[in-house]
Amino acid sequence: MDIFQQQQQQQSASPKEVLESMAAKQGLDLLGRAFADHLDNIDPLKGMRDRFLFPRVADQMHVEGIQAEGECIYLCGNSLGLQPKTTKDKVVEVLDAWAKLAINSHFHGPLPAAYCDNYGKEVLGELVGADPSQVVLMNALTVNLHLLLLAFYQPTETRYKILIEGHAFPSDRYAVASQMRLKGLDPEEAMLQVRPRPGEHTIRTEDILQLLKEKGPSIAVVCLSGVQYYTGQKFDMERVTKAAQEQGCVVGWDLAHAVGNVELKLDEWGVDFACWCTYKYLNSGAGCLGGSYVNARHNERSQPRLQGWWSNRKETRFEMREYCDRDSTVDGFRISNPPPLLVGCVLASLELFREAGLTHLLQKQFLLTGYLELLIKHYFGRGDSDSPAVTIITPEDTSQRGCQLSLIFSSPLKQVHKEITKRGIMCDIRQPNVMRIAPAPLYNSFCDIHQFVTILGNVFALCKIEAA
């Protein structure tokens, strides 16, 4: 019986309860390496790991005092996904087509330049829960956010605010503020932020809903993150969308940390627009093409927007008309022709997502992140004199998180990060004081988690000795 079948037998159980039951059935120590090995052996997705290129410790020449060898333990997929082994093949195919066909590669070859941005629409639609006609590959995330806000943010004298979360990703904050200035508004007045309560790390859904109830008539656009980059909190997108629209607000989501990570149902939830990058959980490479979504109900809406050649309908694009024959769907938000090289990078990973299946990835994620949570709480949750404290600020409720757990240490954060990096761990820290650990179910293993926690314990012991 694989891990998915065993999880399905205990659908209402927590990750800890499922893992405890599995260990007991095998007569294995829940905390031991043998149990991690067992989980990997019965993982139906274990073969996906071999489809990616893992960085090797020996290649990290910038790291001083390396004390490990072999492959790094990569837990940073929330920041930059690993490279699929087929990515280089996709890129070479495009380069070969360019070399052999030249101008004819616009319409012929494996990824014709004139049509390549239509490839992958079906898988993207599946990942965000949308009809493929309502998603598009184009530009980078913040460029897309700007294009969407230009169309959807139409402030009036009484309805002019944009709601974002406090400590939003800087790029989102900058984009929102600059859109306000373009409309002649002061961000200090027009930007409305919802924050955690004093002494708390995450934002309560009821506080968002209450703010919408109180300030809704003054809010033009709600623009929150699907998964908050710093805390790893997944917002209740369905309830927030419904409540905001009942107040007359337009609702858009930044799904950078959500797509390929959590279940999304943009069509079902009635979201107005969304955008995302593809280089985190979607593994397309740094700065690669982003994606956008616009609900079909806006197709006939007259929205002021920037236009370019690629805004035309594909049927008339090459007629070189004097006036733009704008595509009424999200495709009409495109400006320029897409780069086949980057489309190839996106497709290399999307093919793996289709092969693995999002349902299976979510099931594995439930246990993989749950296993990380279990070990951290067991070894570092006490914070007594013998063990430094590690506080998980990501919600314990699995419906309010994805892969990522955000950790706060009682030991100096930068020192801990430096020492685990020397021992082959790749993860990141975000100011002011969080380390983000994000085991991606597409390529991470349970043994990765066990080894990370073991190394973390060794580093804590070392830091304690040096401090003494």
- Kindly report, residue by residue over 234-248, the tens digit of the pLDDT: 999 999 999 999 999
Residue of 278, 247, 239 whose CA lies nearest to 399: 239
Rg for the chain, CA atoms, rounded: 23
pLDDT band at 387 (very low <50, low <70, confident <90, very high): low
Report residue 413 as tokens: 């954060």
For residue 332, give the nearest of 367, 285, 290, 300 by alpha carbon. 300
Dihedral angle over CA of 164, 167, 169, 170, nearest 10 = 100
Instruction: List the beta bridge partners of residue 430.
Output: 434
Is the pLDDT at 468 greater than 60? The verdict is: no
Confidence band for 384, pLDDT divided at 50, 70 and 90:
low
* Structure-token match 């005092």, residue found: 65
Task: State whether the Cα torsion 141-174-245-335 is positive or negative.
Answer: negative
Angle formed at CA 231 by CA 170 and CA 128, multiple of 5 degrees: 80
- At residue 302 the predicted structure's pLDDT band, cuts being 50, 70 and 90, is confident
* Rounded Cα–Cα distance for residues 349 and 82 (Å): 10
The mean pLDDT value for 288-302 works out to 93
pLDDT digits (tens, 9 = 90+) for 28-39: 999 999 999 999
36-67 residue pLDDT tens: 999 999 999 999 999 999 999 999 989 888 88
DSSP character string of 302-371: -------GGGB-TTTGGG--SS--B-SSGGGG--S---HHHHHHHHHHHHHHHHH-HHHHHHHHHHHHHH
Fold exhibited by the domain 90-354: Aspartate Aminotransferase; domain 2 (3.40.640)
In CATH terms, are 9-74+358-467 and 90-354 the same topology? no
Domain 9-74+358-467 belongs to what architecture?
Alpha-Beta Complex (3.90)
Summarize pLDDT for 190-246 with one digit per residue, the tens. 999 999 999 999 999 999 999 999 999 999 999 999 999 999 999 999 999 999 999
CB atoms near residue 92 (< 10 Å): 12
Residue 349 has pLDDT above 50, yes or no: yes
At residue 66, the pLDDT reads: 87
Q: How far is CA 392 from the centre of its chain?
A: 19
139 secondary structure, DSSP code: S
Name residue, tokens 């590690």.
Answer: 390
Domain spans, the chain: 9-74+358-467, 90-354
Confidence (pTM): 0.95
